[in-house]
Structure 1
Amino acid sequence: MTREPAEVRCLLMRGGTSKGAYFLADDLPRDPAARDDLLLRIMGSPDPRQIDGLGGAHPVTSKVAVVSVPDDPDVDVDYLFLQVAVDTAEVSDRQNCGNLLAGIGPFAVERGLVAAQDGQTSVRIRMVNTDDLATATFPTPGGRVDYTGTARISGVPGTAAPVVIEFARGTSPLLPTGRAREVIAGTPVTCVDNGMPTVLISAEALDITGYETPQELEDNVALRDRIERIRLEAGPLMGLGDVRDTTVPKLSLLAPPAHDGAVTTRTFIPHRCHTSIGVLGAAGVAAGLRIPGSVAEGIAQLPSRGDRLRIEHPTGFLDIEAGVGTGADGTPTTERTAVVRTARKIFDGTVFPRPAQPAPPSELSPQGAADDSPSR
């Protein structure tokens, strides 16, 4: 039996508007069940405060990136994203995270997986969760990652070096249901997948304005129940199967822009309302705005030229470039998706996981010895 590590090498990093623990795959157990159990104890789950671990008591601060050397010569690193639940003992690999993605290139350089160039470095990344590809480009003067700069993103104080992320065209259909509009649980929706399964819904159709704070929306029990009904019905229609125990699809509520952007959003991920918006969630919204016949028609205000769209969210905005074309069969397809994010190294060292719990009494003999211990 392999002894569990008493400490694990870890780099804690803010990526975009999320924060997560970054690991080399070789520093974690190979068995997924053992790995997930270890990560729960590292992050401090299950506990609403995650008081005994690295987690920050919210899904956007309870994330893990696992990075490894790929077997594909056209890719520099593999990136597996794991969402660690806060108050339940769950670890999910059913989605990507475009925010933590911003830190993958710098992490790969920090760990020596990719040699930095003098000036700027581009890292080709395979997102293992969905097999999609992205290239991250960031400054590396003198062959070292420079996290300082003047790029500013909403939801993050101060400025940092820009990380330009360009996503390769995915293989999944942009419209998983094959239609631009569905009626699910009595509500018109548009189901899109531009790197993240997302359901777009007009806020007005849910009897809200779409300008409420995340806390106000979370406190609206009737709204949350209705959104969950939509999510559960949308899952099978989007080819995701039973989604009761998963974190996808996400749901973005749309309202007219309030600050000269293209649209205002409130995004459920899926049961908490995001204080901003995820990168891939924004990619889905941006693509959905450009699809003829989507629920965004009459809500969004699209620019007269160019692919760049400003997606408004509770703490500001996210600028994203999204081009949508038409495939040979006449269905909408993603042409290009690119975004500027930032990342910052917070600490690099070792983390000490909470010890594993001893076997429950039912699994012990009356003398306290394990049931399978040899007879005297």
Structure 2
Amino acid sequence: MLKIPCVLMRGGTSKGPVILASDLPTKVEERDAVLLDLMGAGHELEIDGIGGGSPQTSKVAIVSQSDSPDADVDYLFVQVMVNERRVDTTPNCGNMLCAVGPFAIEKGLVKANNPVTTVRIRNLNTGTLVDAEVQTPDFCVNYEGDTSIDGVPGTAAPVGLTFLNSAGCKTGKLLPTGNVVDLFDDIEVTCIDMAMPMVLMNAAQMGKTGGETPAELEADRAFMTRLENIRRQAGAAMGFSDVSDKVIPKPVLLSKPGAGGTLRVRYFMPHNCHKSLAITGSIGISTATLIEGSVAHKIITEQPRAPDTNIINIEHPSGKISVALLKEGNEIEKTRATVIRTSRKLFEGIVCVPE
């Protein structure tokens, strides 16, 4: 058996092993094969591995010292498919990103400060930079605190994430099609690439209220098929060619808020509806509200809202996520976004994988 040092961590509303790159094979094919066996991919329960049987709990974070002068550590996110023997390293994951800073400090990759340590992380999936503010009183990582986030029971220490250069992370353009609005199957969509490539659409145009549960949406097979058809057309228009076997772009339903937020969201990954909301998704959705004429902008301008607010409160199936936007003049591409999340170390040890 291969014995691999591993720390299982909850990052935001996701969970998965965090592993040093030096403890995995250097060849991509061999590394991916190890991760498939480590997680138990190819079975709906991932019964023969440590995966949790859902996309939110079948994630791996690989961390290493960065060779970039602009970053402290590098982070490669790996989405391990549950029912397939396949991994995808095209997207980023902002929730697992919450675990990278604490892990890097505890592994000695970054020197701790007192009482807060800022870890600059380079995401290798997208080439973007993120500052993670980790609570380190007395130079030690602290996981306990009074911060709560929707979708996670209890409270923990806050982790502040500021996304620095997320526009065009995969396509090089904030609006990859060159349009604020495109039309696919007679549905208006906004294709945006900000932290995560997404296809935003008004739930009402898809025959939905936007308040449906993830289970209700997934059970409507005709709707899911239509959603995938639109996603594939949008993916091609965004420059991704055939996205049948890719998890990007993510399709997103937007609607008017129902609980006092800015807008309501149902985010797909892409074939399952997220039970809350990806952090990278929240960054792009919030930024879209600044783009005049976008699907998101149209929805928020149809309701009473405080003028010029920089806080976007996004309602999702488990509650809300608040995103603080820092604009630089009229250049939306330079917008910085900050979210507060939490993380926790669940166990540390050795995971065994068939050799």
| TM-score for both structures, normalised by structure 2 | 0.95
Is 1:320 aligned to 2:316, yes or no?
no
Instruction: Answer yes or no: is 1:206 the counterpart of 2:206.
Output: yes
Question: In 1, distance between residues paired with 2:306 and 2:37?
Answer: 47
Q: Which one of the candidate residues 113, 116, 126 is aligned to 1:117?
A: 113
Shift of 1:175: 1.1
Q: Distance in 2 between matches of 1:184 and 1:140?
A: 49
Looking at structure 1, the residues matched to 27 and 161 of structure 2 have their Cα atoms a distance apart, in angstroms, of 31
Match of 1:126 among 109, 118, 122: 122
Match of 1:90 among 86, 95, 106: 86
Give 1:1-376 correspondences, 5 Å limit: 6-170=2-166, 172=168, 173-300=173-300, 301=303, 302-323=305-326, 332-353=332-353, 355=354
What secondary structure does 1:299 align onto? helix
Q: Structure 2: which amino acid aligns with 1:15?
A: G
Which structure has the larger Rg? Answer: 1
Instruction: Call closer, same or farther: CA 1:181–1:223 in 2, change over 3 Å.
Output: same
Shift of 1:210: 0.7
Q: Give the Cα separation in 2 of the matches to 1:304 and 1:46.
A: 49
Go from structure 1 to structure 2 and tell me whether the alpha carbon gap of 1:10 and 1:195 turns closer, same or farther (over 3 Å shift). same
Q: Which secondary structure does the structure 1 equivalent of 2:343 belong to?
A: strand
Change in CA separation of 1:64 and 1:305 when aligned onto 2, cut-off 3 Å? same
Distance 1:178 1:308 in 2: 27
2:150 maps to amino acid: S
Q: Which runs of 4+ in 1 moved over 3 A?
A: 323-328
Aligned-partner SS, 2:104: helix
Deviations 1:191-246 (A, max 9, x none): 11111001111000000111010000000001100010011111121122221111
Shift of residue 57 of structure 1? 0.8
Kept in 2: contact 1:290–1:324 (CA 8 A): no
Using the TM superposition, give the Cα deviation of residue 169 of structure 1 relative to its aligned residue in structure 2, in angstroms.
2.3
Deviation, structure 1 residue 290: 1.8
Q: Secondary structure at the match of 2:22?
A: helix
How large is the RMSD of aligned CA atoms in angstroms?
A: 1.4
Cα–Cα, structure 1 residues 222 and 344, in superposed 2: closer, same or farther, change >3 Å? same
1:333 offset after TM fit, Å? 2.2
Report Cα offsets for 1:242-284 as digits up to 9, x if no partner.
2111100111101100111000111111000000000010111
- SS in structure 2 at match of 1:38: helix
The residue identity in structure 1 corresponding to 2:187 is: T
Secondary structure of 2:95's counterpart equals coil
Secondary structure of 1:253's partner? strand
1: CA distance between counterparts of 2:22 and 2:266? 38
What residue number does 1:371 align with? Answer: none
Indicate the larger mover: 340-349 or 303-312.
303-312
SS at match of 1:296: helix
8 A contact 1:83–1:91 mirrored in 2: yes
Deviates more, 1:301-310 or 1:319-328: 319-328
- How far apart in 1 are the matches of 2:334 and 2:255? 23
Whole-Å Cα distance in 1 between the matches of residues 327 and 192 of structure 2?
12
Query: Aligned partners of 1:321, 1:144: CA distance in 2, in Å?
Result: 28
- C-alpha distance in 2 between matches for 1:165 and 1:157: 20
5+ residue gaps, structure 2: none
3-state SS of the aligned residue for 2:287?
Answer: helix
Read off the aligned partner of 2:207 and give its amino acid letter.
Answer: D
For 1:345 and 1:142, the matched residues in 2 are separated by 19
Distance apart, 1:327 and its partner CA: 6.1
For residue 295 of structure 1, report the CA deviation from its aligned partner: 1.3
